């Protein structure tokens, strides 16, 4: 340090030497030196404390943290393995249970068909024998002989009258409900929700502006529908357009595989979303033009606090604890299933089985504020 100002090495003690030429005549210089010296001492103390804290952090805290990370990671791995083992075991058990049900249903239908085959083979044999008997009577007996055999022939023909014609029976059809499983539905929905981008059918969906109701406006990216109570001036003669009800279709249909998309609905308390055939009614204010009120549309609907699934004018209530902010739609075209779920929790909102006979379009309706297509 400068003359008269020194910091003792190995500590923070400070000695103040006599400045050359100092004396009672220079008290101001001594005072300034003391102030500077005190500031340096304070800084040294702060540096020493800071160094001690850093050293403790390096020597104690970080090694402890590192050990904690190792322990936490090990516990996390064990948790993942345990849970996946549990899920795997549950899946194995569910697979075994469902396959046993499929086998039992297959055996039931097979036995029913065999029983029917035996029954109708016997009926054919009886009818054949009776016809042969009657033909023989007609061919070989004279009038007197026919009269003698008449009563006996009537008794035999009553047997034929008791044999009814075959009727269509549900017992002869395989019952697909044997494979319905809440666990399988949840796992399927969860898997699709987390792997939508890798699914062949999960493609970007855009709304077809030509189908837009005059009550709706479409954002530039063709993903957000906004409702207006006032009709916009549009070409109402366009055959693709919904001219009254606030509906819109996607640009392209789905005709195979598993398809998935999500819709943000948190801004709206009046909407519908689902699928429909291209033949869905588009003109006029009749009830059949409303989504879910005809045989060509299947939709999940919200109106205020009421949630329903609608098809062919037959509403099915959906009980929800809270309104979802987003709704996922899963369409298994080949499997004939339409499923609505909450992407946040993967909870199944509603599932409907339907053999789709032609390609289906994602369809939307909104009568309050707006809804938006989510990104895959």
pLDDT in tens, 244-268: 999 999 999 999 988 889 999 999 9
Q: How far apart are CA 241 and CA 233, in angstroms?
A: 13
**30, 33, 35, 38 alpha-carbon torsion, rounded to 10°:** -120
Q: Which helix or strand (DSSP H or E) is residue 248 part of? A: strand 247-249
**Residue that has been written with the tokens 């640009």 in this structure:** 251
- Taking a C-beta distance cutoff of 8 angstroms, is the pair 257, 334 a contact? yes
Q: How far apart are CA 295 and CA 209, in angstroms?
A: 24
Distances from the Cα of 148 to the Cα of 124, 139, 143, 167, angstroms: 27, 15, 9, 37
The per-residue pLDDT for 2 is 42
On the 0-12 / 13-18 / 19+ scale of CB atoms within 10 A, 153 is middle
- Looking at the chain, the domain(s) classified CATH 2.60.120.920 span 182-373
- For the domain covering 182-373, report its CATH number: 2.60.120.920
The per-residue pLDDT for 362 is 97
Distances from the Cα of 15 to the Cα of 2, 18, 20, 26, 93, angstroms: 12, 10, 15, 19, 84
pTM for the structure as a whole: 0.64
Sorted by sequence, the CB contacts under 8 Å of residue 297 that are 6+ apart come out as: 274, 275, 276, 277, 280, 291, 310, 311, 363
- Taking a C-beta distance cutoff of 8 angstroms, is the pair 295, 312 a contact? yes
The closest of 189, 199, 226, 182 to 327, measured between CA atoms, is 189
Task: Give the count of beta carbons closer than 10 Å to the beta carbon of residue 145.
Answer: 11
List, in sequence order, every residue forming a beta bridge with 47; answer none if it has no partner: none
Q: Please, which contacts does 338-345 make with residues 24 or more away whose CB atoms are closer than 8 Å?
A: 338/274, 338/275, 338/298, 339/185, 339/188, 339/189, 340/274, 340/300, 340/309, 341/189, 341/193, 343/193, 343/262, 343/374
The closest of 355, 240, 375 to 298, measured between CA atoms, is 355
pLDDT < 50: residue spans in the chain:
1-24, 197, 200-202
Helix (H, G, I), strand (E, B) or coil at 129: helix
Q: How far apart are CA 216 and CA 206, in angstroms?
A: 15
Q: How far apart are CA 170 and CA 107, in angstroms?
A: 15
Helix (H, G, I), strand (E, B) or coil at 231: coil
């Amino acid at each position: 340090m400068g003359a008269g100002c020194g910091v003792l090495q190995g500590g923070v003690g400070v000695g103040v030497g006599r400045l050359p030429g100092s004396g009672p005549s220079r008290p101001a210089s001594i005072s300034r030196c003391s102030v500077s010296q005190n500031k340096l001492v304070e800084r040294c103390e702060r540096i020493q404390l800071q160094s001690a804290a850093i050293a403790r952090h390096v020597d104690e805290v970080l090694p402890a943290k590192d050990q904690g990370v190792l322990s936490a990671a090990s516990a996390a791995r064990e948790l993942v393995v345990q849970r996946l083992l549990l899920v795997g075991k549950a899946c194995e058990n569910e697979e075994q249970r469902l396959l046993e049900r499929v086998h039992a249903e297959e055996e039931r239908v097979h036995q029913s068909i065999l029983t029917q085959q035996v029954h109708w083979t016997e009926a054919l044999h009886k009818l054949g024998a009776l016809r042969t008997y009657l033909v023989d009577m007609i061919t070989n007996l004279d009038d007197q002989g026919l009269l003698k055999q008449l009563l006996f022939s009537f008794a035999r023909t009553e047997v034929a009258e008791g044999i009814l014609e075959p009727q269509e029976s549900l017992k002869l059809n395989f019952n697909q409900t044997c494979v319905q499983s809440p666990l399988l539905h949840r796992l399927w929905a969860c898997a699709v929700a987390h792997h939508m981008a890798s699914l062949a059918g999960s493609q970007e969906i855009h709304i077809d502006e030509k189908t837009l109701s005059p009550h709706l406006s479409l954002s530039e990216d063709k993903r957000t529908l906004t409702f207006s109570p006032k009709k916009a001036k549009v070409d109402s003669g366009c055959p693709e357009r919904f001219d009254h009800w606030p509906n819109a279709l996607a640009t392209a249909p789905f005709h195979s595989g598993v398809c998935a998309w999500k819709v943000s609905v948190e801004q709206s308390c009046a909407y519908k979303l689902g699928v429909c055939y291209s033949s869905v009614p588009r003109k006029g204010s009749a009830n059949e033009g409303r989504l879910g009120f005809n045989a060509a549309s299947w939709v999940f609907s919200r109106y205020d606090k009421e949630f329903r699934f609608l098809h062919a004018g037959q509403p099915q209530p959906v009980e929800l604890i809270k309104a979802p902010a987003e709704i996922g739609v899963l369409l298994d075209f080949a499997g004939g299933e339409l499923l609505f779920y909450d992407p946040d929790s993967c909870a199944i909102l509603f599932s409907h089985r339907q053999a789709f006979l032609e390609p289906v379009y994602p369809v939307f309706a909104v009568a309050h504020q707006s809804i938006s297509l989510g990104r895959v």
